[in-house]
Structure 1
Amino acid sequence: MGLRRGGMNTLLTSLILVATAAQTAVCCSVCKDQVLRCHTCVAAGEEECDRQGSSPCPQYADACSTITGPNTVMKSCSYKSFCDRDHHDNPGVMMECCFTEACNGPKAHRHRGSPNTAMALRACPALLVGALLTLLVTSRL
């Protein structure tokens, strides 16, 4: 009986993994269709820039950037590949990138790094439900 139960547990675990992988593939293709929003502006200072608001980014933009220089602040949609480049050629100009919704806005906590997993789960609730069900079932095996 122990071998039979072990085989059933393995089968159940395999089915859960396949279902979760399929759900993730479908869900992430839906998540990719959602466009990122970033604060967009060109102004003499941060406060003036922040009043200009946010806008949807082009389809493949995956970062928000803030470029500050002498008496100039520019916020826009950007690309991680652009953010990863070395931008130290211009002294007095600083570039920061972030990767979540409106993260370059007023008093935003800016950080370098990869997109936040929590954002992916928030954007795709089915992925969160699938992950929770997987944890529940596997904890009972």
Structure 2
Amino acid sequence: MNNHLENISQTLGISKRRRTTFELEDMDNNQMKLSYKGKANLNTPWFGMYGDKPCALVPAELFEAVINALKNAQKENFELKLERSILQNLPIDFGDVWTVAIEEIKKANYKKEPNLDRVIAKIKKEHPNLFLDMRSLVNKE
């Protein structure tokens, strides 16, 4: 088995004894032959080769869990970035600015992640009442 697949398997805690390995071979008429070694455990990933290309077969439930974990991590990362951008601009009410920012982002329908600093700058320009004005505070003294 390929070293890369060996490392992934070990990282996942799948011992050699419990590991299922496979080989895929092309057949006639757009068919493939799957040959495997080990116990046919459909609850863990299988690791194998398709020619010289390392592959993995993953149960759909596990694949879905991985996708959901990645989506959740992406959402948390986005929220942390938005929080940082908002806080850097000294909001009077964080929740109000957050709500306006989320609506602005939804309304703009960005193809990829927006530049959050620009979004908050736009909100600050359009809704200055949502942010502290440090200049006016300094001028009062």
Which structure: greater helix fraction?
2
Larger Rg: 2
Question: What band does the TM-score fall into relative to the shorter chain?
Answer: under 0.3
TM-score with structure 2 length normalisation?
0.28
TM-score with structure 1 length normalisation?
0.28
Between 1 and 2, higher relative CO (CA 8 Å, sep ≥ 6) is seen in 1
